[in-house]
Structure 1
Amino acid sequence: MSSQEITVRSQELGERLRGFRAGAKLTISDAGKRIDLSTSQLSRIETGRRRPNIETVTALLAVYGVTGARRKTAMALAREACEDGWWHRDRPDFPERQHTLISLESRADRIVNYEGMLIPGLLQTGEYTRALMADSKLVPESEVEQRMVTRLRRHAVLRRRDAPTFTAVIDELALRRVIGGVDVQRRQLQHLLEMAQWPNIRVRVVPNAGAHAGANGSFSLLRQPDGPTVVFLENLTCSLFVEDRSEITTYEKAFRSLLTQALAETQSGEVIASLATAMDAEADSTWSPPI
């Protein structure tokens, strides 16, 4: 299987099989011998570069002692590993839906993200995220802490020594939307300025001046050095991973267009700093952003 044939599903299957093997405390050589696979063959399965047949996956799961829901999920991935695109509609659990995104972000060498309503997830402070979940009334209180843990797992990718480059294009309206009160929003903007100083992070602001290529919603593009480029889309109940080359080209074109309309990094920083300063000066919940 060439890198062009690697799919999100085959990578997800490989990662799960690797985790199962680690849980069974088997080396890749020992596991391969159990089912008559070479170390290189099993290694390629675990990296998504080789699509195993159903019999091989069944045998590996038996060796690793995997049963129940985990086995069912792995078998479904094995049956669908060659398919492009993945609609996570059958995963109501938020951390489970985020698992694939976290895996993709960990393998990416470049991530670009457009956000029109909110601060990008990878750049959110904990209190901003918590306020967003609480104020939206869509996240049960019992799930907030679990989602916070999931978000922290996502943030870790930007702090690695080999972290991907991350370009965030943010609509100015997202900066002016006060989440959690003025103090929370001000600290979020200050955090955004701090993150923009990191060598692998670029923050660009699209000024509030008419329509643009992001008018139809937020999206992320994740480029993998050893796998397909993937577009990630998300709504309230499901996630979508787009792998079709023609669709990805459309999103790449949209992002290039957004970059032409966005302010330069220095100007973007000035806009963010100006809003943060204005909030700091007012420091009460009756504050409203300047027109």
Structure 2
Amino acid sequence: MATSPQTYRRARFGSVLRRLREQRKLTQSAVAAQVGVGVDKINRVESGRVKLEVPLLRTLLDTYGVQDQVRRDAMEDMVVNLAKPDWWASYSLHLALQDYLGLEKDALAAWAWEPLLVHGRMQTKRYAEALLSAGESVIPGGRERVENMVAVRMHRQEVVTSSLTVVLNSAALDTEVGGPDVMREQIAHLLTRSEVDLRILLAGRPHVGLDGAFTKLRFPDGGELACVESLVTTSYYDDADSLTLYERAAGQLTELALDRSASRAYLEERARVL
């Protein structure tokens, strides 16, 4: 049986199928018998260790009673995308980042809390280069890595079109990444991104977001995910308790932040005084 690299992206999709099976109170053995495959195949599909073909997906969705055609079509598209190289394949990226970019591509919408940095999908080229250069002596790869990652961030902005909401801590604008000229350019760029729901949270009040940045992804198959990035990897949380906690945290941060109009006025003022 041909297996594929077990990434979180593939395993997440498998877990969606597992939950659909469990909602019907079916065992893996019962499903295998109904669809005419070995139980090991069902196990490997649900754990993300084997490629899933569209015909088998359709049969599984029939077995699980999924009739929503929009959802079915979205899941078929995701299976096709899982099986083919994508835009990041031409870059030298570690598997954890490839995994996240794939999850982001699959997502219908993203919500992000950024306490220290401008969100990657909204960074200018000069901001990204100055930011990544600051870690050049710490993170392996040197200048080649910086140039590669800047190219990835710019390409990402061209191809990722899912809905994006960002709550940005005003403190992120206090760090002059690249100097005043770069920051003026960066803030001017933020003001052009009208398709993004950008909210500014003024520094000075304690809140749950002081624990660090996180992103919530929502998928067309009904799944959700909370993501926490570190220097080493990205951690994912999709259990009900964790998702509830991150949803409550996102709610608090959104409530504390300025609305879109006031956020724009704040950015315009910051650009004037830089």
TM-score (norm 1): 0.62
1:125 aligns with 2:133: no
Partner of 2:247: 252
Partner of 1:33: none
Question: Match of 1:106, SS?
Answer: helix
Partner of 1:151: 153
Distance apart, 1:231 and its partner CA? 1.0
1:166 aligns with 2:152: no
Partner of 1:142: 144
Q: Encode CA deviations 1:77-105: one digit per residue, 9 max, x unaligned.
A: xxxxxxxxxxxxxxxx8543211111111
Q: Which of the numbers 222, 237, 240 marks the counterpart of 2:235? A: 240
Partner of 1:275: 270
Question: Match of 1:226, SS?
Answer: coil
Q: Decide whether aligned partners of structure 1 residues 265 and 172 sit closer, same or farther in structure 2, where only a CA change above 3 A counts.
A: same
Counterpart Cα distance in 1 of 2:159 and 2:225: 17
Distance apart, 1:135 and its partner CA? 2.1
Counterpart Cα distance in 2 of 1:232 and 1:153: 21
Distance apart, 1:274 and its partner CA? 0.7
Counterpart Cα distance in 2 of 1:134 and 1:94: 17
Question: Match of 1:97, SS?
Answer: helix
More relative contact order in 1 or in 2 (CA 8 Å, sep 6+)?
A: 1
Does the 8 Å CA contact 1:157/1:164 hold for their aligned counterparts? no
Alignment of 1:169-248 (within 5 A): 169-195=167-193, 197-198=194-195, 201-248=196-243
Give, as a single letter, the amino acid of the residue that structure 2 aligns with 1:142: E
Distance apart, 1:110 and its partner CA? 1.1
Does the 8 Å CA contact 2:11/2:48 hold for their aligned counterparts? no
Counterpart Cα distance in 2 of 1:105 and 1:274: 32
Does the 8 Å CA contact 1:95/1:147 hold for their aligned counterparts? no
C-alpha RMSD of the superposition: 2.7
Counterpart Cα distance in 2 of 1:133 and 1:52: 35
Q: Encode CA deviations 1:119-138: one digit per residue, 9 max, x unaligned.
A: 01111111111100112343
Question: Match of 1:215, SS?
Answer: helix
Gaps of 5+ in 2: 1-7, 15-36, 52-91
Distance apart, 1:8 and its partner CA? 3.1
Does the 8 Å CA contact 1:169/1:258 hold for their aligned counterparts? yes
Q: Percent identity?
A: 27
Distance apart, 1:152 and its partner CA? 2.7
Distance apart, 1:52 and its partner CA? 7.9
Counterpart Cα distance in 2 of 1:94 and 1:11: 21
